[in-house]
Amino acid sequence: MATPRRTTADGFELQFGTNHLGHFALTGRLLPALAAASAGRVVTVSSRLHTLGRLDFRDLQSKRHYGRVRAYANSKLANLLFTAELDRRARAAGLTLRAYAVHPGYTATSLLTTGQPALLRTLLAVPNALVAVRPLTGALPALCAATLPGLPGGTFLAPRGRGSLRGAPALVTPSARARHRPTATRLWEISPDPDRRPLRLPLRRADGRPPDPVAAADAVHGLGRPDAAPRAGVTVGACT
């Protein structure tokens, strides 16, 4: 998290490549199994820091301007855009697959301190001990998204407390940038898998019947019919 600028083995900026493109590629490899499942789910771990993100499609790899935190925030914004687009396309293709994004809250792990200067690691040890929640608690939003029956696709779960640092998992409204549909569609279309191929959903229903032709066309072009937006702030009590 918030690392100095490095690149992946494929030449992508490390945080964007790991946090977004890696998730995108893995989902693509798993799509046949997910599409065949009766109710497949994809849960992507994002962050409330996505609110600091702003994607610049002229410099997605941050070659011209790089800031550690901004690059991390951009990758977490990409997670939410990917989740929304995957859920729309799956629905339009007639699949039962649903996608969710989660934020674990301020969790006492080594994520904040790994790769940081010694002084910063020492300073972060204090809030890690006093404010952060245990990793088991931080896992609750992801567990809810993966298992809670009837959870609307495309939703974002995060702790309900101030700043989403801690608290029971709740439905949270992402930033306006994370809900910008043209940006989500564009990001999907330019995000390659490791073989530089665009990710296409199988255009068939989970029950074997062909999808509606209009819905199939929508799926290819990034359109769809998302669920009605859930009410933000509703605590997902069944998982706590």
State how far the Cα of 167 lies from the Cα of 107, in Å rounded to an integer.
11
Residue percentage of the chain with pLDDT more than 70: 74
Q: Does the pLDDT value for residue 233 go beyond 50?
A: yes
Q: Which residue has the higher pLDDT, 45 or 208?
A: 45
- The predicted-structure confidence for 73-88, as pLDDT tens digits, reads as follows 999 999 999 999 999 9
Q: Is the pLDDT of residue 206 over 90?
A: no
Which range in 77-81, 128-132, 205-209 is most confidently predicted, on average pLDDT?
Answer: 77-81
Report the pLDDT averaged over residues 130-144.
Answer: 85
pLDDT value of position 188 = 93
Q: What DSSP character marks residue 21? A: I
Map out the domains of the chain as residue ranges.
14-196
State the pTM of this model: 0.79
pLDDT at 115: 63
Q: What is the mean pLDDT of residues 190-204?
A: 60
Q: Rounded CA gap, 171 and 190, in Å?
A: 29
Q: The domain 14-196: what is its CATH number?
A: 3.40.50.720
**Sole residue written with tokens 């790994």:** 114
Q: Which residue type sits at 17? A: G
The residues carrying an active-site annotation are 72
Q: Is the pLDDT reported for residue 47 higher than 70? A: yes
pLDDT of 212 strictly over 90? no
Residue 240: its pLDDT value, please?
Answer: 53
What is the pLDDT at residue 219? 42
Burial 75-105 (b: 16+ CB within 10 A, else e): bbbbbbbbbbbbbbbbbbbbbbbbbbbbbbb
CA angle 126, 69, 113 (to 5 degrees): 35
Reading the block at residue 204, the tokens are: 């068939």
